[in-house]
Structure 1
Amino acid sequence: MNTKAVYAACLFAALNICTLSARAESNVQPHTYTDGSHLDIQKVLSLTEDTEPTCGVVNAHMTYLDSAGHQQALDYRKFSDHCTNQN
C-alpha cells in the first residue's frame, strides 16, 4: 500500500468520526426552563414557537451553544410574537 492510499484512508476515517459526533450532537434532548434555571448560552442557533397565529402564551424552543461549544436545547413558554398590536 502506498503512502497516498494510507493518507486517504486516515482522512476518510477522521471524516467519518467527525460526522458521527456531529450527528450525535444533533439529537440533543431539550430541557424545560423553570424559574431559577441557570442558562449557559454562548450563541443562539435557532428560535421557534408554536405556529398558531393567536395572541397569548405559546410553547417555544431554543437551540444554542453553551460556553463549552456543546449544542443544547431548551423548551420554554413565552408570549406569542402575534401579540405585537395589543397592549
Structure 2
Amino acid sequence: MKTLLALVLVGVSSFALADEVKTAAAQPVVEQYDYSTNLDIARVISLSTLPNVCEVVPATMTYEDHQGQRHTIEYRAMGDGCSQG
C-alpha cells in the first residue's frame, strides 16, 4: 500500500512539474528596452497602466512583430500624476 501511495505521489508531482514548465514556456521573456533597441511592432497587444504619480516608473508593453512573434519589453515612463501648471 505504501508503494502504491508513493507511486501516486510521484505521478502527481511530475504532472505538476510538467504544467509549471508549460506555463513558464508560454510566458514571453521580458526584454529591457534602451534607445538602441530596434523595435519591429506590427500590433500592440497590451500596455501596462501608469500610476498617478509624478515620477519615472517601470512600464511594460506586449506586442506582435511582423513575423507574428510576441515580445514583451520593459521600459521607463513618466507617471500620469504630473500637472502642467
Which TM-score band (shorter chain)? 0.5 to 0.7
Identity rate, percent: 35
Conserved 8 A contact 2:50-2:80: no
When residues 30 and 64 of structure 1 are mapped into structure 2, their CA distance, relative to the original with a 3 A threshold, is same
Conserved 8 A contact 1:49-1:59: no
Q: How many residues align?
A: 63
Shift of 1:49: 4.0
SS in 2 for 1:82: coil
Question: Counterpart of 1:70?
Answer: 69
Conserved 8 A contact 1:49-1:58: no
Shift of 1:58: 0.7
Q: Return the alpha-carbon distance in structure 2 between the equivalents of residues 25 and 45 of structure 1.
A: 19
Query: Normalized against structure 2, the TM-score is what?
Result: 0.63
Question: Counterpart of 1:27?
Answer: 27
In the alignment, structure 1 segments of 5+ residues that lack a partner are 1-22
In the alignment, structure 2 segments of 5+ residues that lack a partner are 1-22
Shift of 1:86: 2.7
Conserved 8 A contact 1:43-1:64: yes
The alignment's C-alpha RMSD in Å is: 2.1
Structure 1 runs of 4+ with >6 Å offset: none
Conserved 8 A contact 1:65-1:72: yes
